[in-house]
Structure 1
Amino acid sequence: MSLNSEWVLASGNKGKLREFQDLFAPWGVNWVAQGELGVPDAEEPFHTFVENALTKARHASRLTGRPALADDSGLCVPALQGAPGVLSARYATLFGQEKGDANNNACLIQQLKGIEDRRAYFVCAMVWVAHADDPTPTIAQKMWWGEVIDTPQGEHGFGYDPHFWLPQSQCTAAQMPKELKNQYSHRAQATQALLLELEQRLGLKSRAAGH
């Protein structure tokens, strides 16, 4: 496979696109967002992050004829049987409210009322496919453990970050400096794991290392 060809990111998030462009630059990989190629968002009908990420990656690859990468992420609370889970971005709609960070967080706190076990984890699943019918998709899934607190703290981040307390760091994800979050978050861990898997699968060698 030629690494000089463009790979498709199954997302319209410009921040993610920049991040992957930087990460893969040493290997000569070029990324393009699916929206720039006229690819609409895929349906996400499954109950697991991996299945939804795989669906999005295959969808983007099938419509473009190029390798594709997709991710799916969210917050899981064991005491709530894994909710919000894959519905993290629209959790409030389950309770008749409009989706949005404030409503999602309010509904989560309400559901945890009277529950002592506040353990929770962010999860990120990443899937790369060489083509739409790739029989061996490359998959990486990582978790970032913490606890849910009632009162939000911090101005950074988004989603559930202000309510996600990290005992070891004694701060929420919304209070953590960006540099640290980019090292320890679920997305950071999954990205690094995916890079290692792809290095093995494709025999990638960094141009920056003189190979």
Structure 2
Amino acid sequence: MEKIQEIIVATQNAGKVKEISQAMRHLPIKVLSLADCGTFPEPIENGGTFEENALLKARYYAALTGKPCLADDSGLEVDSLGKAPGVYSARYAGEHATDKENNHKLLQALAAMPEAKRTGRFRCVLALVESGDLHGFVLTTEGVCEGEILQQPRGEHGFGYDPLFFMPKLNKTLAEVTVEEKNQISHRGQALGKLVDKLQEYLK
């Protein structure tokens, strides 16, 4: 593998790009967003797992941009809902659902659920590929963050289900912590930490 000098973050989500840029700020790698490279059609995410979808997206955008790409697939697994919404987290309430619509559907699904059965976790898999080639360099990492689903949102930061995801140890939701705090404790933060550690070894 050649030394990676820049990485395309394969997402249209500005919040994710900000988190990833913050986590990788000490690496000699320029972090770019898809918006920096042009306008591209989105791939069809038909993987059955977070890892399959992350690799699918990373390879798709690497092939289009000709640059190393980092993609993530992450979502919420609620125990009492059979680990739903899972890989469908971003489109839980429909193909182009907003965060508000997804949160509303989740609250409805858990409306009659007692507090003890509102446990769940955020899971994230990051996939970094050097090219769109199936046989090219691949690096994957995973992070998991355990918590509970509140009955109403709290906090102004974050995105997605963050305002509903409560962490008892912190007595806060993921929407009530700073980006720096989130990178230390969240599912994506954990996966990013592992990725940064591995990249530092490759870049030596």
For Structure 1 versus Structure 2, the TM-score category normalised by the shorter chain is 0.7 to 0.9
Give the SS at the match of 1:66: coil
Give the SS at the match of 2:111: coil
**Contact 1:3/1:27, CA 8 A, preserved across alignment:** no
**Displacement of 1:66:** 2.1
Within-5 A mapping of 1:126-141: 126-135=126-135, 137-141=138-142
1:103 aligns with 2:73: no
Gaps of 5+ in 1: 206-211
**Contact 2:78/2:120, CA 8 A, preserved across alignment:** yes
- Relative to the length of structure 1, the TM-score reads 0.82
Equivalent in the alignment of 1:9: 9
Equivalent in the alignment of 1:163: 164
**Contact 1:73/1:123, CA 8 A, preserved across alignment:** yes
Equivalent in the alignment of 2:57: 56
Gaps of 5+ in 2: none
Structure 1 moving runs of 4+ over 6 Å: none
**Displacement of 1:83:** 0.8
**Displacement of 1:139:** 0.5
Structure 2 CA distance, aligned partners of 1:37 and 1:70?
A: 15
Q: Bigger CA drift: 130-139 or 160-169?
A: 130-139
**Displacement of 1:26:** 4.1
**Displacement of 1:124:** 1.4
C-alpha spacing 1:52/1:112, structure 2 compared with 1 (3 Å) = same
C-alpha spacing 1:18/1:93, structure 2 compared with 1 (3 Å) = closer
Q: Which has the larger radius of gyration?
A: 1
Q: 1 or 2 for the larger relative contact order (CA 8 Å, sep ≥6)?
A: 2
Among the aligned pairs, what percent are the same residue? 40
- Relative to the length of structure 2, the TM-score reads 0.85
